[in-house]
Structure 1
Amino acid sequence: MVTLRKITLENRRAVFKLEVAEDQRRFVASNLSSVASCYVLATNGGHPFPFAIYADEQPVGFVLVTYGTTGYDEPSFAARSYCILRLMIDKACQNRGYGRAAMNEIMAFIRTFPAGPADCCWIPYKHANLPAKKLYERFGFRDNGETFNDESITVLRL
């Protein structure tokens, strides 16, 4: 069973050790960098929601959901939207369905509107990251034609 869990003093090191395969590193920041971004976002009026992704009792990935502006280049509709800013599954745990199961949990969390109302959720991703694009499309996300920092923007109406 895949669940989202808060990052705690007890699990933080295990989460920081998770990493994608060498050829995927160009697509996603490290989990440590992402957690540090949470501090910057939170102290500048943002609403970050970092989670460890667990398969049963084993951490297998990381996700960072944000609400509102992120401080990064973003689409004009970002101010009242949720964003899946980072999502990764550890290289040893890929191709086991954890990404798909995690997206189910992530979308269920977002649909509780924990930081406020929103019309959509968006995800920035590198155009060359075809597995990510396919995953997002399975959940109804569609590219809207915008690009920021060499990343395509895919959007889902909530």
Structure 2
Amino acid sequence: MIELRKITLENRRAIFNLEVSEDQRRFVASNLSSVALCYVLATNGGHPFPFAIYADEKPVGFVMLTYGNTGYELPSIVDDSYCILRLMIDKQYQNKGYGREAMEKILEFIRTFPAGPASYCWIPYGTDNIAAKKLYESFGFRDNGEICDNKPITVLQL
């Protein structure tokens, strides 16, 4: 069973040590870098939500959600949206359904509107990250034609 958990002093090193495979590194920043970005966003008025992804008491991944302004080039829907800015499953835990289960939990959390109301959730993704695009589409995300930081944006109406 997948759970989203806060990153704590106790689990931070395990989360920082999770990695995607070599050929996937171009798609996602390190978890340490992402947690540092959360700090920067939070101290500058942003609303980041970093979570460890656990499967049966074992950390298997990381997700970083934001609300509103992410500090990046932004799509037109940003003021009324949540963003799944980072999502990764460690290389040794991939292809076990954890990514799909994690997306279910992530969207469930977003739909509680923890930082405020929203009409959309968006995700920037690499055009050659076919597996991620298929996962997002299976949840109803659709490209909206916008490009941010040289990445297409896929959007889900909440």
Q: What TM-score do you get using the length of structure 2 for normalisation? A: 0.99
Q: Which residue of 2 aligns with 1:152?
A: 152
| Deviation sequence 1:8-47 (CA, Å, 0-9, x none) | 0000000000000000000000000000000110011100
- The runs of 5 or more residues in structure 2 that have no matched partner are none
Q: Which residue of 2 aligns with 1:36?
A: 36
Q: Which residue of 2 aligns with 1:113?
A: 113
Alignment of 1:94-109 (within 5 A): 94-109=94-109
Across the aligned residues of Structure 1 and Structure 2, the Cα RMSD in angstroms comes to 0.5
Q: How far apart are the structure 1 equivalents of 2:151 and 2:89?
A: 19
Amino acid at match of 1:146: E
Amino acid at match of 1:63: V
Q: Which residue of 1 aligns with 2:14?
A: 14
- The runs of 5 or more residues in structure 1 that have no matched partner are none
| Deviation sequence 1:71-107 (CA, Å, 0-9, x none) | 1011021022100000000000000000000000000
Amino acid at match of 2:70: T
Q: Once the two structures are aligned, what percentage of the paired residues are identical?
A: 75
Amino acid at match of 2:140: G
| Deviation sequence 1:51-84 (CA, Å, 0-9, x none) | 0000010000000010000010110210221000
Amino acid at match of 1:40: V
Q: How far apart are the structure 1 equivalents of 2:142 and 2:76?
A: 16
Q: What TM-score do you get using the length of structure 1 for normalisation? A: 0.99
